[in-house]
Amino acid sequence: MTAGPASTISAPVLLTIIAGGGLLVLATALALRPRAGASGFGWIVVAGMGCSLLGLASPLQSPGGDGLRAGLVHLVAVLLAALLGGLSAPRRGAAETPTNALGVAAWGCAWLTLLGFPPTVGFPAKVALYRALFGCGWGGLAALAMAASAAALVPARWGLRFRARALEGTWAAVGVLLVALILALGLYPGPLLDLLGGMGAAAGPAG
Amino acid sequence: MAGAAAVFPRLSLPAHSEAEKAAFAWAPFSLGALASGMGLALGLALLPAVAGGGRVGVDYWWTRDLYHLRLQADGLSLPAALAICALGLLVHLHLVGLRAAERSHQRAALLLAAQGSAMGAVLAADLMAVVFFLGLTVLCLWGLAATSAPREAERLLTAGYLGGLLVLAGALVMWQRADSTSVQDLPLLLLSAEPRTLGLIAALMLLGFLPFVSGFPAHGWLASLAPRSHSLALIPATLLLVVGATLVLRLLPGSLMLATAPGFARLSLVLGLVGLWWGALRAWFATELGWLAVWLTVAQAGQLLLAVSSSASPVASGPAMQAAGLHLLAAPPAVLAVWWASSAVAARTGTDALAGLSGLWRRAPASGLALLAGGLSLAGFPPLVGFQVQRLLVSGLVDQSRPVLAAAVVLADVLLAVAVVSAFRRAFLRGEPPPPVRPAPVWLSVQLAALIAVLLALGVWASATARWGELVSNAITLAPP
């Protein structure tokens, strides 16, 4: 809201929007296939990256806006979820994968972060992203990103039914650390926002 | 179990199995009762400051410029928080005294977390914080339901998530117009917005809050939460009701002012009529006490929306606004009574299916009376507290020259009453031999009797009830600072 968006869209902005929006729509559509199974998680991670790209495109259009920080926060949230999900994702074709409580918690936390549920870091990331898109005058893209989030519920419901991989030993410690980080940044995202905001400012007005 | 017996001698029901006996945990539920009691005491201490139209706020800069946690106790949010604490205290004491289901530690923690999140949602004075706490509440309730009813839990998660997204979309459009998401600043800042934009925001907010009024349209998960006793449905059923009703009331003139937006009154009228009649008709065909409680809850959500619809105009009649405010006091204990009766019957007989129940009046009179009192209060029968709500709602509709709508409400109430009396007759008065009934502790009967007394006392002591309604409606109609 601090600076008004430009009235015309330049070619680089348009290309970034097409790339980000296309990635978002395509990956969400692939995740919605009934045969996607546990791989739906991967496609929703890709869709999340498409969302981040949309956020990163907004400072090109509205340099004084919050888009760069929003895009970076969203990217961090998606990457944390991807790491956690990668650790605990069910093995392909293994119906009787051994599981434990930590694996289930990690798998659930990864999905909830991708969906943007509080108190995970996904929530401030989604809020920042939607707000940046709205602030840039891209209400339609914000609606598209929200619709994609709503659509992600379908693979999330399928994915949560799979047996998560058991986390033991070193992987258990890494899993606990990632879950704690996701929850801590969700409950108190101020330091992350400040850090990424500072990085965005240092990168210059055009990002 | 020994611990429970030491604290509540002769009050605990025998556990159903050795596994349940081993899993029984009175400590976490006692902790829940203690936390609820402390919240209740704190809320009552704040009541004098709020009753005169004051506000008690706490600001905590959470994320600097993105959104922050701003809590505020006023004439609407404090009664709602008190209701959550009081209902939580009752139910936690019930769970201590009755019995705990398996995984009781986790469930106790989730119940308490859901209660705390719901408190945050009603006390939040920033729309982003409202979305945060609503999401957290849904997450806790999903965790609660996921182990016993995974499919229903998924539906709850879906409905709650979509509702949260709609509220978030409405809040973002508001932010774009007003550059603020604080509920204190928004009414004045939105005055300059175009009617079409206001209408869009109001529709998004109303449809977003709808899933939280009794979990609609994912209400069915409550009946599946703990099939053997429904005891774990007691808090969620009332929590969602209080949270949803409080947030919907926030949309009325004087609070967020969104109810004056074009189309709002018509949308809430349509949703209210559909909810009331759908609930009333489905209650007729309910074959289990749990499902009867579900449909009664849906019907009362319809009544709330009708009251909101008739209060939507800035010049709405006093009775309509008071009916909307009083609903917050009257509906939760009535819904709780019906769920409690269903839970008690299922715990003592092993089923809540009406086909398998008969002649329970001699063995479980308190459960029967609680079912009648709660159900008939929701149907608006005197001398129960629900009658005051219906009286105000119908007189408000008549004042607004809408006799057909008033008649539709009365007719739906009659349908609800017949459904409740019919279920009561089948389960409690039918002459066939009753099923085996486990003995009830005095504790359970005392709780049910206390709940019936509350419903009767609030109905008979109409002046105090009216004062509460005035407190809430004054808080809604007060102009923002």
The model's pLDDT over B91-120, given as tens digits with 9 standing for 90+, comes to 777 776 655 444 467 777 888 888 888 988
The model's pLDDT over B129-156, given as tens digits with 9 standing for 90+, comes to 889 999 999 898 888 887 777 788 888 8
**Residue B280: enclosing H or E segment and its boundaries?**
helix B264-284
- A150 inside 8 A of chain B by CB: yes
**Residue among B136, B139, B172 whose CB faces A131 most closely:** B172
- A171 inside 8 A of chain B by CB: no
Q: Is A70 helix (H, G, I), strand (E, B) or coil?
A: helix
Q: Which of B309-323, B381-395, B433-447 has the lowest mean pLDDT?
A: B309-323
Which B positions 126-145 lie with beta carbon below 8 A of chain A? 128, 131-133, 135-136, 139
Residues of B in contact with A142 (CB under 8 A): 169, 172
**Which residue would you say has higher pLDDT here, B392 or A202?**
B392
Q: Is the pLDDT of residue B389 over 60?
A: yes
| Best residue of B62, B106, B140, B165 to probe chain A, by most A CBs closer than 10 Å | B165
**Residue among B66, B157, B162 whose CB faces A124 most closely:** B66
Q: Is the pLDDT of residue B475 over 90?
A: no
DSSP conformational letter for B321: H
Which B positions 169-188 lie with beta carbon below 8 A of chain A? 169, 172-173, 175-176, 179
CA–CA distance, B133 with B181 (Å, rounded to integer): 15
CA–CA distance, B291 with B283 (Å, rounded to integer): 8
- Find all residues with CB under 8 Å of B65, minimum gap 6, and list them: A193
The alpha carbon of residue B52 and the mean position of all alpha carbons in its chain are separated, in whole angstroms, by 26
DSSP calls for A16-82: HHHHHHHHHHHHHHHHTSGGGGGGHHHHHHHHHHHHHHHHHHHHHH-TTSSHHHHHHHHHHHHHHHH
Q: Is the pTM of this model over 0.80?
A: yes
Phi, psi at B195, each rounded to 5°: -55, -35
Residues of A in contact with B158 (CB under 8 A): 153, 157
Angle at B21 between CA B15 and CA B27, to 5 degrees: 100
Binary contact (A1, B136; C-beta < 8 A): no
Place of tokens 């400051």: B49
**Residue B468: enclosing H or E segment and its boundaries?**
helix B462-477
Q: Which amino acid is at A135?
A: G
Which of B148, B147, B144, B152 is CA-nearest to residue B117? B144
Q: Decide if B459 contacts B379 (C-beta within 8 A).
A: no
Domain chopping of chain B, boundaries: 31-47+54-477
**Residue among A135, A146, A157 whose CB faces B154 most closely:** A157
Place of tokens 């609680």: B370
Place of tokens 């917005």: B193
CA–CA distance, B308 with B270 (Å, rounded to integer): 12
Would you place residue A76 in the very low, low, confident or very high pLDDT band (cuts 50, 70, 90)?
A: very high
- B197 inside 8 A of chain A by CB: no
CA–CA distance, B349 with B345 (Å, rounded to integer): 6
Give ipTM to 2 decimals: 0.88
Which of A158, A135, A139, A157 is CA-nearest to residue A147? A139
**Residue B49: enclosing H or E segment and its boundaries?**
helix B26-51
Would you place residue A5 in the very low, low, confident or very high pLDDT band (cuts 50, 70, 90)?
A: low
Q: Is the pLDDT of residue A87 over 80?
A: yes
CA–CA distance, B168 with A174 (Å, rounded to integer): 33
CA–CA distance, B26 with B96 (Å, rounded to integer): 5
How far apart are the CA of A153 and the nearest CA of chain B, in angstroms?
7
A:B CB pairs within 8 Å: 73
Angle at B206 between CA A154 and CA B50, to 5 degrees: 125
- A142 inside 8 A of chain B by CB: yes
Q: Decide if B426 contacts B358 (C-beta within 8 A).
A: yes
Residues of A in contact with B136 (CB under 8 A): 118-119
**Residue among A124, A134, A135 whose CB faces B63 most closely:** A124
Which of B116, B119, B135, B126 is CA-nearest to residue B63? B126
Residues of B in contact with A58 (CB under 8 A): none
Binary contact (B133, A153; C-beta < 8 A): no
Q: Is the pLDDT of residue A88 over 90?
A: no
Binary contact (A146, B128; C-beta < 8 A): no
**Per-residue H/E/C for B331-382:** HHHHHHHHHHHHHHHHHHHCCCEHHHCCCCCCCCHHHHHHHHHHHHHHCCCC
Tokens of B15: 């556990």
Phi, psi at B160, each rounded to 5°: -65, -40
